[in-house]
Amino acid sequence: MALAMSEIVLLHARLAASEVRSRTAEVELAEARAVVSTSEAMIAHLRLEIAKLRREQYGRNSDIDPRAWLADVLARMPNLPDLLPWNWARGTDRRHLGFAR
């Protein structure tokens, strides 16, 4: 009977130690989650700041009309007709390009 009582006391001690380790692990997990959450919030904040700086430096993308931009770029390119697909190889030997004509 004394042996059974000592085993019960030993098991209670082990259970108490296990519960302490479990609580400690839960506290460490909560701290780790807080660090991760803080890091994610900092990353989101920095991304927002970067976007604001880019907007300040380059302007808003929505302020640019893509068709007007493309028309302006094409107007500035010299010899544009020579670059069009139906004209670019007109004056060259096209056999090396895989064309039959």
Question: Residue 43 is part of which domain span?
Answer: 2-63
- Identify the DSSP state of 84: S
CA distance 92 to 66: 33
Q: Domain for residue 11, yes or no?
A: yes
Q: What is the tens place of the pLDDT at every residue in 61-93?
A: 666 777 888 888 777 777 666 666 666 655 555
The whole-number average pLDDT for the span 40-60 is 90
Indicate the average pLDDT of the chain.
82
- Grouping H, G, I as helix, E, B as strand and the rest as coil, residue 64 is coil
Q: Domain for residue 98, yes or no?
A: no
Q: Domain for residue 76, yes or no?
A: no
Q: Domain for residue 77, yes or no?
A: no
How many separate domains does the chain show?
A: 1
What was the pLDDT predicted at 15? 95
